[in-house]
Structure 1
Amino acid sequence: MNARAKGYREDVARLREFPDFADFSDDELTRLVRAAHRTSTSAPWPLIHEQTPSDACFILLSGEASVYLGRERIAVLSPGEVIGESALRRGKLRSATVTTNGPAEVLRIDRDDFARLLDEIPALRGTVDDTVARHMSGTPGSE
Structure 2
Amino acid sequence: MKPVKFNPEEKVIQQGDPGDRFYVLTKGHCVVIKNQRQVNECKPGDGFGDLALLFNQPRAATVKATIETECYFLTSEHFKSFMMQARQAQIKKYEQLLKEVKILNKLKEQEIYMIAQAMRPFQASAGTDIIVQGEDGDVFFFIEQGEVQVIYNGNQVAILKTGSYFGEAALLHNCKRNATVRSIGIVNCATLDRDTFVNLIGKLEGLEDGRKNE
Do both proteins adopt the same fold according to a TM-score greater than 0.5, normalized to the shorter chain?
yes
Q: TM-score, normalised by structure 1?
A: 0.65
What amino acid maps onto 1:69 in structure 2? Answer: Y
Q: Please identify which structure carries the higher helix content.
A: 1
Aligned residues: 123
CA RMSD of aligned residues (A): 3.3
Q: Which has the higher contact order (CA 8 A, sep 6+)?
A: 1
Do the aligned partners of residues 33 and 8 (structure 1) sit closer, same or farther apart at CA in structure 2, a change above 3 Å counting?
farther
Which one has a larger percent strand, Structure 1 or Structure 2? 2
- Normalised by the length of structure 2, the TM-score is 0.46
Deviation at 1:104, TM superposition (A): 1.6
Relative to structure 1, the CA distance from residue 115 to residue 82 in structure 2 (aligned partners, 3 Å threshold; closer, same or farther) is: farther
What SS class does the counterpart of residue 90 from structure 2 fall into? Answer: helix
Tell me, in whole angstroms, the C-alpha distance in 1 between the residues paired with 2:99 and 2:109.
Answer: 14
Aligned-partner Cα distance in 2 for 1:52–1:17: 26
Unaligned ranges ≥5, structure 2:
1-80
Q: Which runs of 5+ in 1 are unaligned?
A: 120-124, 130-143
Aligned to 1:35: 118
The equivalent of 1:20 in structure 2 is 100
Superposition map of 1:48-59 within 5 A: 48-59=131-142
Q: Which residue of 2 aligns with 1:69?
A: 152
Deviation at 1:68, TM superposition (A): 0.5
2:183 maps to what in 1?
A: 100
- Counterpart of 1:140 in structure 2 is none
- Cα 1:18/1:36, change in 2 over 3 Å: closer
CA separation of 1:32/1:88 partners in 2, compared to 1, >3 Å: closer, same or farther?
A: closer
CA distance in 2, matches of 1:17, 1:89: 18
| Structure 1 residues 85 and 16: alpha-carbon distance in aligned structure 2, compared to 1, 3 A threshold | closer
Report % sequence identity: 22
